Structure 1
Amino acid sequence: MENAFRVRLKQQVIPAIFYLTFLSSFFGSTLAYPKLSYLFAYRIFLAFLFFFIFIDLMLNGIELKSFLNFSTFFLIGWCAYSLLSFLWAQDIKSAVRDQVFLTINIFVILIFMYYSKYLRWDVFENIILISFIIHLAVGYLEVVTDKHLWTSKVPLYNLHRTPSTFFANPNDFATYLVLYLPFILAVAINKSVNNFFKKWAAFLGAVLAIPLLILTTSRANYIGFLLALFIYFLLAGKDQKKSLLQYGAIFLFFLMLIIGFRLDFGAFNKAVEMIKIQISSLVDFSQTYLSSNVRRELLIVYGLSFLYDYLFFGVGSGNSRVLMEKVKQYTVNVELHNWFLDVLVCYGVVIFILYLIWIVYILYNLFKIKKSSNTLNLPTIPLISSISAFFISSISSSKMIEMRIMWFVFALSLFVLAKSKKEEGEY
């Protein structure tokens, strides 16, 4: 009986809670009572997950042999260095706050790797698709009604017809769309998916995501979207390219039909004009009113100057915004609005270089799986496309360390790598 419980715990209970945790992560603090916004569904399921994992480790022990690799050493090392930076951090409260986010997200990634044998990609794929469709439905409701969820800050910015769904602002929502659109495309063109409803739900989801992305006016994510599509098409096989071109032709046909009969009521022209304005603003460095580009330029300059003051060891976990407060009159913003710059400034040159190496390591190994006949080669294309877009899209959001959607892209990547190696019998 005891052995049966141990097996069921590892193979059924933990995976079930894991899937619920993953699903709830896409909806954040909206799945909570407003007066207890800090206690939302994701955190509750995560607490249960940690509890049952603790029991599993006590009963079954730790299987270190299949767990120790470059990713494990780097992530644990990053977490340890972040704790060490408390010694020179100016504001301990900010350091603790970011440390909590970093530690939890790293633990989640490690759990993806450790329990990869008992988790299934098709379940993750279904959860991503369901979540994506729900986000799109809420996004269009926001655009039509101009009403937002209680967690959204869009009303505070006095923005109209701008979707944010379950995120605090439209930039975060745009980043979500770009990072997870490749997974939706994969379902739409995957020949092994025989479910007609699922394939067309994915296709319509990919198409309907584009107007919402345009309405977010997130310039970095416009570029990230194009990069994701380009990388996806570049890596796709002949059959997948054919499917992409077929779907693209269908989309263009209906678009021309709608525009030709003016059934869009001028929405297409407005969208084109909006994109032109946003793209042209990329070269706007006017200092008379501190344009967005100038502010971001100043954030980089001041951020690097603080890094220099700390001898390139990093200013300490979460302390970039504390130091930027000193020059807020020049930058307006205190967040660096650039995830890679945030890693560099907060954690120093060594962690930053290792972080880049880690991403290259992931991409390299995903490429290796893609070229193999492994059954897991299908998820590699959306993962590579998403990570490629991430280099651009991560510039959009103000504070990426809190965004679970970013960490889950890397967690899914390491899940595929770990599962592939276990299936090949390398461990």
Structure 2
Amino acid sequence: MENTFRIRLKQQVIPAILYLTFLSGFFGSTLAYPKLSYLFAYRVFLALLFFLIFIDIILNGIELKSFLNFSTFFLIGWCAYSLLSFLWAQDIKSAVRDQVFLTINIFVILIFMYYSKYLRWDVFESIILISFIIHLAVGYFEVITDKHLWTSKVPLYNLHRTPSTFFTNPNDFATYLVLYLPFILAIAVNKKNNNFFRKWAAFLGTVLAIPLLILTTSRANYIGFLITLIIYFLLTDKDLKKSLLQYGAILLIFLMLIIGFRLDFGAFNKAVEMIKIQISSLADFSQTSLSSNVRRELLIVYGLSFLYDYLFFGVGSGNSRVLMEKVKQYTVNIELHNWFLDVLVCYGAVIFILYLVWIFYLLYNFFKMRKKNSALSMTAVSLMSSISAFFISSVSSSKMIEMRVMWFIFALSLFVLAKSKEEKGES
């Protein structure tokens, strides 16, 4: 009886709770009673997951052999260095806050890798699709009614007809769309997928995500979206390229009919004008109005100057905001609005370089996988497209360390790499 419980815990119970944790992570604090907003579904499931893993370790021990690799060493080393930075951090409260986010998200990544043997990609794929469709439905509801969820800050910004769904602002929602669009596209064009409903739900999801992305007015994610499409098209095989071109032709004909008969009521022209304005603003470096680009430029300059003051060791976990408060009159913002710059400034040059090496290590392994592993080749292409877009899209959101959907991409990456090794019998 005891052995049966131990096996079920590892192979069934923990994977089930992990799936629920993954699903609830896409909806954040909206799955909570407003007066107890800090206690939302994701945190409840995550706490339960940690407790069950603790029980599993007591009963079954730790399988270290397949767990020790470059990713594990880097992530644990990053977490340890972040703790070490408390020694010179100016504000311990901010350091503790970011340390909690960093540690939990790294643990989640390692859990995906450690339990990969008992997890299934098709379940993750279904969760991603369901979550994506729900986000789109809520997004169109917001655009049509101009009403938002209680967690959204869009009404505070006085923005109208701008979707944010389960995120606090439209930039975060746009980043989510770009990062997860490759997985939805993979479901739509996958010839091995015989489920008619899934394929067309994914195809419609891909198409309907574009207007919402435009309405977010997130310039970085416009570019990220183009990078996603280009990388995805270049890396897929010839048969899939034909499918993508066919779907593209169908969509183009549909758009031509809609626009030709003016059934879009001028929406296409408005969308084009909106995109032009946002893209042209990338060249706006007006000093008099302190444009967004100038503020971003100043954030980079001051961020790097603080890094230099700390001899490139980093200003300490979460302390970039504390130091930027000193120059707020020049930058307006205190968030660096650039995830990679935030990693560099907070954790120093060594962690930043290792972080880049780790990302390119993942991309290199996925590039090899797409040719050698037919079962996971499309998944590898989706992950490469998502991570490639992430380099640009991560500039859009202000607080990436809190953004679960970003960390989930890396958790899925390590899960897929571990799964690929298991299939080759390397673990």
TM-score where L is the length of structure 2: 1.00
2:236, 2:378 within 8 Å by CA — same for their partners in 1? no
Q: Trace 1:8-87 onto structure 2 (pairs within 5 A).
A: 8-87=8-87
What corresponds to 2:167 in structure 1? 167
What corresponds to 2:137 in structure 1? 137
**What's the CA shift string for 1:219-278, capped at 9, x where partnerless?**
000000000000000001111111111111111111111101111110000000000000
Establish whether residue 238 from structure 1 lines up as the match of residue 241 from structure 2. Answer: no
Q: Trace 1:229-308 onto structure 2 (pairs within 5 A).
A: 229-308=229-308
User: After TM superposition, which residue ranges in structure 1, 4 or more long, deviate above 3 angstroms?
Assistant: none
| Amino acid of the structure 1 residue aligned with 2:178 | V
Establish whether residue 376 from structure 1 lines up as the match of residue 376 from structure 2. Answer: yes
Q: Trace 1:104-183 onto structure 2 (pairs within 5 A).
A: 104-183=104-183
| Amino acid of the structure 2 residue aligned with 1:286 | S
Question: SS at the partner of 1:312?
Answer: coil
Counterpart-to-counterpart distance in 2, 1:408 and 1:270 = 34
1:335, 1:399 within 8 Å by CA — same for their partners in 2? yes
What corresponds to 1:424 in structure 2? 424
Deviation at 1:373, TM superposition (A): 3.4
1:374, 1:420 within 8 Å by CA — same for their partners in 2? no
What corresponds to 2:92 in structure 1? 92
Counterpart-to-counterpart distance in 2, 1:35 and 1:250 = 48
What corresponds to 2:201 in structure 1? 201
Q: Trace 1:258-407 onto structure 2 (pairs within 5 A).
A: 258-407=258-407
Deviation at 1:375, TM superposition (A): 2.0
| Amino acid of the structure 2 residue aligned with 1:144 | I
| Amino acid of the structure 1 residue aligned with 2:7 | V
RMSD (Å), alpha carbons: 0.5
| Amino acid of the structure 2 residue aligned with 1:186 | A
2:373, 2:420 within 8 Å by CA — same for their partners in 1? no
Counterpart-to-counterpart distance in 2, 1:133 and 1:267 = 22
Question: SS at the partner of 1:94?
Answer: helix
119-128 or 376-385, larger mean C-alpha shift? 376-385
Deviation at 1:299, TM superposition (A): 0.0
Counterpart-to-counterpart distance in 2, 1:335 and 1:279 = 22
Mark the runs of 5 or more structure 2 residues left unpaired by the alignment: none
| Amino acid of the structure 1 residue aligned with 2:143 | V
| Amino acid of the structure 2 residue aligned with 1:123 | V
Counterpart-to-counterpart distance in 1, 2:191 and 2:117 = 25
| Amino acid of the structure 2 residue aligned with 1:285 | F
Question: SS at the partner of 1:379?
Answer: helix
Deviation at 1:399, TM superposition (A): 0.9
| Amino acid of the structure 2 residue aligned with 1:138 | V
| Amino acid of the structure 1 residue aligned with 2:283 | V
| Amino acid of the structure 2 residue aligned with 1:110 | L
1:177, 1:213 within 8 Å by CA — same for their partners in 2? yes
| Amino acid of the structure 2 residue aligned with 1:396 | S
**What's the CA shift string for 1:97-154, capped at 9, x where partnerless?**
0000000000000000000000000000000000000000000000000000000000
Counterpart-to-counterpart distance in 1, 2:67 and 2:348 = 27
Deviation at 1:422, TM superposition (A): 1.4
Counterpart-to-counterpart distance in 2, 1:365 and 1:270 = 42
Deviation at 1:377, TM superposition (A): 2.0
| Amino acid of the structure 2 residue aligned with 1:236 | T
Counterpart-to-counterpart distance in 1, 2:277 and 2:101 = 36
Counterpart-to-counterpart distance in 1, 2:152 and 2:163 = 9
Question: SS at the partner of 1:315?
Answer: coil
Counterpart-to-counterpart distance in 2, 1:133 and 1:247 = 19
1:174, 1:221 within 8 Å by CA — same for their partners in 2? yes
Deviation at 1:374, TM superposition (A): 4.5
| Amino acid of the structure 2 residue aligned with 1:10 | K
Question: SS at the partner of 1:224?
Answer: helix
Counterpart-to-counterpart distance in 2, 1:211 and 1:371 = 34
What corresponds to 1:219 in structure 2? 219
| Amino acid of the structure 1 residue aligned with 2:326 | K
Counterpart-to-counterpart distance in 2, 1:305 and 1:375 = 48
Percent identity reads: 87
Mark the runs of 5 or more structure 1 residues left unpaired by the alignment: none
Counterpart-to-counterpart distance in 1, 2:63 and 2:419 = 15
Question: SS at the partner of 1:378?
Answer: helix
Counterpart-to-counterpart distance in 2, 1:282 and 1:426 = 47
| Amino acid of the structure 1 residue aligned with 2:377 | N
Counterpart-to-counterpart distance in 2, 1:385 and 1:11 = 31
1:32, 1:40 within 8 Å by CA — same for their partners in 2? yes
Aligned residues: 427
2:179, 2:386 within 8 Å by CA — same for their partners in 1? yes
Counterpart-to-counterpart distance in 1, 2:111 and 2:329 = 43
Deviation at 1:378, TM superposition (A): 2.2
**What's the CA shift string for 1:287-310, capped at 9, x where partnerless?**
111000000000000000000000
